[in-house]
Structure 1
C-alpha cells in the first residue's frame, strides 16, 4: 500500500433506503471475501443476501462503504438493538441475564465487517469500524465472530472487544459464534 492510499480512503454512508443502489456490489465483495466458505449453505451468497436485506429493515440501520480511487475496499454495517431484540436469542453459555437485556441506547450490533483480500492488513478494517461507531451514542457495540477465526478474534481483542458468550443465531443452519462486546462510553 502506498502511504497515500489510507489518506485517500473515501467513506460513504448508506441507510436502508439507499442500500439498493449498491446491493449487487456488496454481494460481489461478500463473494470475494468469503470465497473459501461459499460451499457451506449458510455462507452462500443468496443466503447472505437474505440476511443483508433482513438486517437493513432494522430501525437505525447504517452501512459504511470504503473506497480508494472509486474502487471498493470493504464495508461494515449494523444497527442499534432495541428492547426485545433477537440478537441474544440462541445464547448457549451461562451469562448474567443483565448482559442480554437491551434498552434504547444500550447496544449497537455490527452484523458484518469485511475488507477485500487485496486490501486486508492495511488498516482499512479499523477505519471502517471507527467510521461506523465514531459518532454512535450507544453504551457498547457487539459483534459475532466464527469460533475458529482466531485472526479476526485477535484483531477485535486488540481493539478492546471481549468475549461474553457463545450464540447460535436463529438463521437456519447458522454456526455457533462467539459474541464479543466493546464498551463505547461509560457515562
Structure 2
C-alpha cells in the first residue's frame, strides 16, 4: 500500500469538476484493451451514471495525482442493469427496489500504480459505507488479475451477462454480500 495515499468520497455534484481526470485514469487503465475504450464513450457512460440516485465515487490520490477510483450506485426498481443476463438465475435474483443491490460500475487504477493495494483500499472504503444487502459488478472473463482479486475479496460468480449496447463484451456477473440483511 502507498504510504501517502488519500481516499475521499464524492457525490455526483462534487465529482463534476473531476470528469477530465476520471476519463484520463480510465484511458490509462484500459490503454491495451481495444478500440471500445474511448474517451467519448466513457464520458457518455459517466454522465449517465452520475445522474443515478445514490451515485457515489471514492478517489485515491498520491500527492496531487488522481491514481485511481471506484464508483457505483444502487439499482432502482426500473434498472436495466440485468438486461442481457444469461439464464438460469434464481427466482427473484434480478428484482430490485433501490435498496437491495449496489452496482460497482468502475474500479480503475492507473497502470503505473497497479499492484500496490490501491484497488483493494478503494473497494473496501466504498463498500464499507453502503447499506444495501449486496453488491454486484461485471468483469470480463479474460481479465485474470481482476478475477483473482475479486475471488480473494469475497465476490462470487453468479452468471454471465452481455449488455445490449453495440460491441459490449460478455461479462461475468459477480455478487458480494455487504449488508447485515443478506439472506
**The TM-score by the shorter chain falls in which range?**
over 0.9
- After TM superposition, list the pairs within 5 Å mapping 1:127-138 onto structure 2: 127-138=121-132
- Change in Cα spacing, 1:56 to 1:170, as seen in structure 2 (3 Å) is farther
- Corresponding position of 2:7: 11
Q: 2:74 aligns with which of 69, 74, 80?
A: 80
Q: 2:20 aligns with which of 17, 24, 27?
A: 24
Aligned-residue CA RMSD in angstroms?
A: 1.4
What is the rounded CA distance, in whole Å, between the counterparts of 1:52 and 1:121 in structure 2?
25
Higher helix proportion = 1
What is the rounded CA distance, in whole Å, between the counterparts of 2:170 and 2:10 in structure 1?
29
Is the CA contact 2:27–2:37 (under 8 Å) kept in the aligned structure 1? no
- Corresponding position of 2:32: 36
Is the CA contact 2:130–2:179 (under 8 Å) kept in the aligned structure 1? no
- Kindly provide the CA deviation profile for residues 83-122 of structure 1, in whole angstroms up to 9, marking residues without a partner as x: 1211101102311131111123210000000111111111
Is the CA contact 2:71–2:106 (under 8 Å) kept in the aligned structure 1? yes
Normalising by structure 2, we get a TM-score of 0.93
In structure 1, the gaps of 5 or more residues are none
- Kindly provide the CA deviation profile for residues 46-76 of structure 1, in whole angstroms up to 9, marking residues without a partner as x: 1111111111111000111100112211000
1:145 is displaced (CA, Å) by 0.3
What is the rounded CA distance, in whole Å, between the counterparts of 1:109 and 1:22 in structure 2?
21
1:29 is displaced (CA, Å) by 0.8
- After TM superposition, list the pairs within 5 Å mapping 1:90-169 onto structure 2: 90-169=84-163
- Corresponding position of 1:54: 48
In structure 2, the gaps of 5 or more residues are none
1:174 aligns with 2:168: yes
Normalising by structure 1, we get a TM-score of 0.91
What is the rounded CA distance, in whole Å, between the counterparts of 1:132 and 1:185 in structure 2?
13
Residue 76 of structure 1 aligns to a residue whose secondary structure is strand
What is the rounded CA distance, in whole Å, between the counterparts of 1:33 and 1:96 in structure 2?
34
